[in-house]
Amino acid sequence: MWSDSEKRAIAIVNLDAERLGRSARHVALAFREVKPDSLVCRLPEKLISKYLLEVISEGGRVLTAEHQEVPVGFLVFVRDNNLTLKFLRRHWCRVVSGLLFSARGTDKKLLFEVAGNALAMCGSNLSGEFRDEISLLAVKTGYTGKGIGEALIRNFLQRHRGLVRVKTNLLNHGAARFYRRVGFAEVGVVGVGIQRLVCFELNNCLGS
C-alpha cells in the first residue's frame, strides 16, 4: 500500500490538444507501455498522438495519471468507438507491420487476435452500444492496486455529465468487480468479432 503522501504525488491531468502537442513523444512512450495486450496501446509511436488528438477533436477525453510528471495510467473516453475502428483500418499496414516485426511475444499474440477479429467482423462497424464509452482504462504494471484507476474514473465523472459506457472481456472478473464497485451497472453481453464483452453503464448526473 502507498502512504498518503505517495497518493498525493499522483496528479490527474486532462490532456487537451495543446498539452498533447507539447508532450506528444513523452505521452506516446508511456501509452505504449501501459497496457501491452491492447492493440491501441501498441500502435506505432507516431500514430498514438494522432489517435489521441482525433479522440479529443471528436469530443472525447484523454486523462492521464502522472507520478513525478510521468504518465502511469490512462483513461480514454470516446463519443463513438467507431472512431478507433476506422483509425485502425486507415493505418492497417503500419499497425500490422509494427506487430509483425516486434520482438515482444505479446505483440505476436495481438497479431493473431487482430487477424481473427478482422475476419470475423468483415468490415462491419460497431453498434450504438459503443457510443459514449470509456474505451481504455489502464494503469502501468507496478502502479496497480493503488487506487489510480478509481482516481481516473472519479476525475472523469466530475468532468462529464450523462451516460457512460464501458466494456470488459467476459473472463476478466477482476475488471467487472472494479466497475461495479465504482458505480457501474452490468447491462448485458455483446459480441465483437471473436470476443465476448460484458457491458456496463452509469448515468452520471453529477458532472460539470
Neighbours of 51 (CB within 10 A): 20
- pLDDT-derived band at 167 (thresholds 50, 70, 90) equals very high
Write down the pLDDT at residue 63. 97
Q: Is the pLDDT of residue 206 over 70?
A: no
Pairing assessment for the beta strands 61-67 and 70-80 based on DSSP bridges: antiparallel
Which span out of 1-5, 9-13, 55-59, 203-207 was modeled with the highest average pLDDT? Answer: 55-59
Query: DSSP letters along 21-64, please?
Result: HHTHHHHHHHHHHH-TT-TGGGS-HHHHHHHHHHHHHTT-EEEE
Domain ranges in the chain are 4-160
For 32-45, the pLDDT digits (tens) are 999 887 888 888 88
Write down the pLDDT at residue 185. 97
Phi, psi for residue 111 in degrees, rounded to 5: -60, -45
Q: Whole-number mean pLDDT of the chain?
A: 87
Write down the pLDDT at residue 179. 97
- pLDDT-derived band at 122 (thresholds 50, 70, 90) equals low
Region of poorest pLDDT, from 19-33, 35-49, 63-77, 141-155: 35-49
How far, in Å, CA of 163 to CA of 53, rounded? 23
Q: Tell the burial category of 64 from Cβ atoms under 10 Å away from its Cβ (0-12, 13-18, 19+).
A: buried
For 57-71, the pLDDT digits (tens) are 999 999 999 998 899
Query: DSSP letters along the chain, please?
Result: ---HHHHHTEEEEEE-HHHHHHTHHHHHHHHHHH-TT-TGGGS-HHHHHHHHHHHHHTT-EEEEEEETTEEEEEEEEEEETHHHHHHHHHTHHHHHHHHHT---HHHHHHHHHHHHHHHHHTTPPP-GGGEEEEEEEEE-TTSTTSSHHHHHHHHHHHH--EEEEEEEETT-HHHHHHHHHTT-EEEEEEEETTEEEEEEEEEE----
Write down the pLDDT at residue 3. 57
**What are the Cα distances from residue 115, in Å, to 79, 112, 119, 192, 208?**
26, 5, 6, 13, 41
Which of the two residues, 117 and 159, has the higher pLDDT score? 159
CATH of 4-160, picked from 3.10.110, 3.30.230, 3.30.70, 3.40.630, is 3.40.630
For 63-96, the pLDDT digits (tens) are 999 998 899 999 999 999 999 888 988 888 888 8
Q: Is the pLDDT of residue 127 over 90?
A: no
Write down the pLDDT at residue 153. 96
Which of the two residues, 56 and 169, has the higher pLDDT score? 56
